[in-house]
Every structure is written in structure tokens, then in C-alpha cells.
Structure 1
Amino acid sequence: KGRVLSGLGDPIDGQGPLRTTTTYPVMNQPPSPLSRKRITEALPVGVKAIDGLITVGKGQRMGILAGSGVGKSTLMGMIARNTEADINVIALIGERGREVRDFLERDLGEKGLKRSVVIVATSDQPALVRIKGAFVATSIAEYFRDQGLDVLLLMDSLTRFALAQREVGLATGEPPATRGYTPSVFALLPRLLERAGNSQKGTITGLYTVLVEGDDMNEPITDAVRGIVDGHIALSRNLAAMNIYPAIDVLNSISRVMIDIVPPTQMQAANRFRSLLATYQDASDLIDIGAYKKGANPKIDEALNHIDGLYEFLRQDIYEDALFEDTINHLHQSVGEQVVS
């Protein structure tokens, strides 16, 4: 824990060699489908919008989808610091060299680094090192899972992993297919993503960022990842422009296992939150130009009464650690429900 390694697993933090004799295969096989435990338990990550509305389960794989500059790395740092997982394994694949130290010292901080292992393969390194870095990080997560721990695997970004494989594919003579991506890219994604999840011993919860090209949520990598993972968290440039951070677009985000891991009261409150927010957003043009008169539509009136509370719930300071129980109480309050103590 607390170490920074290269894409090939060598220490690069100047703290000497790794003291271990255990070896793990880098290209390991995923657990058998029938040996995987079902996802039945929530993993609080300390971010209100996620814990309340897009709850992540232990062993779930989630995509974090966003264009450039919307706050993916900052959100990852918040999750790494605040999560209730036993250990973080963080893979920075294809990042700018300048951003690595920023992430370690500003986003992750001393508190986050103490219980993390960080794997770094910067954008200037060969494509094979960037690909290997993602698999090395997954192997390290598997090692800790086999110790019976709840592991959080954070990877930034899956898009740069795909670009590295495209580079290799084109160099070996593969034909470029959708938007220049080679067929091997789409074959390699499930081999990486399927290795996260539950085994009989422990859990790996995987959060993978996807850099959405041109803010097109249907571009090939985004589309392929959405079809493999168990849910996705979309970040919105519009919310970021309104200074709502983290800019999580809850209406376009989903956790496919949420219904299995949260009580019915939380599910009902989350559905009501979404319904109120959707009603307000549908009517926002009329409201902004002053064309809507109060009393014309009871649903819009209700949404107007609650909208400040909804946006207040979505906002969270970068260094604020939201406790799971407080988040659920805040969720009920934001939709006008009585909090039962």
C-alpha cells in the first residue's frame, strides 16, 4: 500500500524495491460465472449523488463517462479518499506526465495514497506498456481480492487503453473498423473488464473512466463499455457550466444492481428525485423566459418548489466526505419526505 508503480509493475516512487515473493499472472482468467457471488451489498463511496441515486455495489463495474475537462479525475480523487473499500488500486493509463503528480498530491492526497497502490503508464510510453499497465493493475487488485479484501479498482482512462490497442492493431496489419478502432480493441475490452467483480474470497469494484470523444455518448468505445459494465455515471458539461460539481447527470446515469442493494424507501426517494428533476428540466425553457405561470401544471409547481433542494443535494465540496447515512437522510429531505430516525 502507498506505492507508485510503472506500467510493468516496477516501483517509480524512490522508496526502494517491493518486498514480496508472490507472483500473479498479468493475463489472468476472469472468475467462472457460477463461482461469482451475487452483488447484494452497497459500497459507499462518499459522494452524495452516487451513494443516494446511483448506488454502487461491492463487485460492480461502473463506467464514468465524460468529455474532457468536466471533472473525471477530481471525482476519482474524491472516491479514492472517501470510499469504504479496504484498499484502492488506481491505474493512470495514458495520462499526461504533469497530471500524475497533480493527481497524487492534490486529488488523492496523503489520506488517499496511504491505502492505495497506483500504477502509472503515461502517454509518452509505448502502447504495449500502456496496455500492460491496465492488466498489471487488475492483477494487483485480484491479489488483494484473494486476501479476502473489498478492493476498489479505479482506471483512468479506458479510452487511452483502447487507443493503445488500436495503435498495436494497426501496426500488426489489422483493418481499421469503426472510427479507426481495430477489431482487437473490442475483443480486449471484455477480457479486461470481466476480471473485476466478486469471487468466493473477496470483491473488486471497478470504476473505469471513458473520455467521450466530442461529447458524443454513442461513440464506439463509450457504446462498447456501456454494454459490458453494470451501470454508468455520466458527467454533464451543462451542470459543470452551472457550477454544480461533481457534474453528475443523474438522469442519464444508472446502476443496474441498485434495486438489489438498497432498501425500497431509498429506491422510492431516488425515483422521486429523478422525476422532479426531469419535470423541471423539461419545463426549464418556459420557466427561464417567464412564460410559465404558477398553478398551470401541478407537477411543474412541485418541481419548482423542490429544485433548490435537488441541486443542493447534487453539489458537494471536493474535500467533503459524505457519510452514507447522512446522504440518505439528505436525499429524503431534498424530495420533501419525512426522515425517520
Structure 2
Amino acid sequence: ELERLPLTPNGKIDRKALPAPEGGAGGGREYVAPRTELEAKLAAIWQDVLVREKAVGVTDNFFDLGGHSLRATTLVSKMHKELGVEFPLRDVFRYSTVEEMAAAMERLEIGSFTAIPAAESSEYYPLSSAQKRLYILNQLEGAELSYNIPGAMLLEGELDRQRFEEAFRGLVARHETLRTGFEMVKGEAVQRIYEEAAFQVEYVQINEEQAEETVRQFVRPFDLAKPPLLRVGLAEMAPDRHILMFDTHHIVSDGVSIDVLIEELVRLYSGEQLEPLRIQYKDYAVWQQSDEQKAQLAKQEAYWLDMFRGELPVLE
């Protein structure tokens, strides 16, 4: 029993800061090995999505093993890609063990997986629907910090500042979204990708008492036209004790992006060579705004207009 649950900066439970559970995870269930080829494939996909070293049993519950809505979305995408099945996201919550999911999947039709193509080179690119929404919301009065995604973590041990900064520069070079600015062209919001974006880690020396105020003051508004929309600070409290502070705008990142950012930062700092990315976020935005996808969205729009036609009930 904990006196209080550790929270992330945006008020959610910080699962990574929770102590390791006592005894076996997953409610003490015994491991039951996959019995069919489909169960074996599903168990392998689950293991990858949940980032688990231990094998997944067919009676294990996805959410007991650390699954949540973002990981469920990743799971659905991987199943579509690797198994050719369009498994509804809501069904991950209904059939949350491998054996239940395999049984439900056998009732679905197999659909072809289409990879998003790389977009042709252009001076600027359209925004995705989510980016359009965030661009407009960012213009509203009082919205200056509403869509910042800040974070802070304690780094203990020896730190090579030069290698640390080079690792972040490697991330900016690797991800176009960290070199993207947002502006209006001919009355339309667009994203422009720059070959380079000036990036520097902000260094400061503080004592323990100044830590909270330093982290609070680190979060400030971004100018969406000027990349990188990522800010990184390092507060040194002792030679082997630092606070890593980062702040990014929601128009170029989300919760999953931050996990990717931290994982790749550690790998680059360790001297690893990362595989080049096949596509970038702008390729997704171009694909999403294509005529084919717009036709798909038009069908969905027609469905909802039909669902809500006529007199609408007023919420209590």
C-alpha cells in the first residue's frame, strides 16, 4: 500500500515510478504456453508491444501486464501489419487475453495492409487533422502553455555533457518533426521542414532547494514557426546528480513520442547506431490528406451525420 501514487506532470499515474510488485505479476496466474500458430504469433506481438522479457501466456491479461490505451492502439496497428487483420480497438478491451483475442480474430475477415508511402519532396506539406486542430487552438488567447508537454527526471551518476548534447542533436537530425515549423501559406496552415535547426541544451547550476522552481520556470511558450519545438535543460545539483528537463509542443509530439525520444536518447548516448527511418510524420500527414483517405473519412462522416440526424437529446 502506498501513501500516495506518483504522478506525471500532466496528472496521470507515473507507472515507471511505482515500486516493483511483490510476487508474480498478472495476479499470480500460471504461465500457459500458446497452443496454436495464431496464439503464438499474438503472444510474440504482445511481448514486443509490452516491452517484456518474459514470455506472454495465453491466459495473461493485456492490462495486468502494463497495457493501456496507447499500447492497445500500437497493438492493433501491429496486428494489422503482421497478421493482416483489422482488429477493432474496442475489442482489445473486450478480449484482453491472447486466447480470447485469437478466438475473436478467427471470426474476422483478413484485410490487406497498405504501407504509408514516402511523400514527394516539397517546399512545405499539409498538416494532419490533429496538427490543424492544435494549430488553431494555439492561436486562442490564454493557450500559450496549454499544449506544452513538459517532463523532468533525475539523472544520477557520471554524465558526459558533450555526449549528452550530441545525442540530442542526433535526435533533431533524425526526426524531421523536430526540425518542423508551422506557418500560414495562402490562407492555409502548413508545415515546413528545415534542413537544420539550431539546438542547444540549457545548462544551469542549482542547489536542491531551487530544483522545483527551476523545473517550473523551464516551461514557457513556443513560437510554432521556429523549430525545434523541443527545449532541453540540464540542472546540475552535484557533479553526479542532475535534473534533465524537457519541454515539447503537442503539435510535434505526444505520450508515445516522449517514450521514443527517451529510449533513442539513451541509445545514442551509449554510442549506438540507429536504423534510418523509412517514413516521417509529414509522410503520414500527406497520406492522411490524400483523396483516397478523404473518401474513407467522407464515409465515416456520413455515418455520424446519420446517427445524429433529427432532434438531439440535451445532456443533463
Band of TM-score, shorter chain = under 0.3
Name which structure has the greater RCO, CA cutoff 8 Å, separation 6+.
1
Structure number, greater radius of gyration? 2
| TM-score calculated relative to the size of structure 1 | 0.24
Going by fraction, where is helix more abundant, 1 or 2? 1
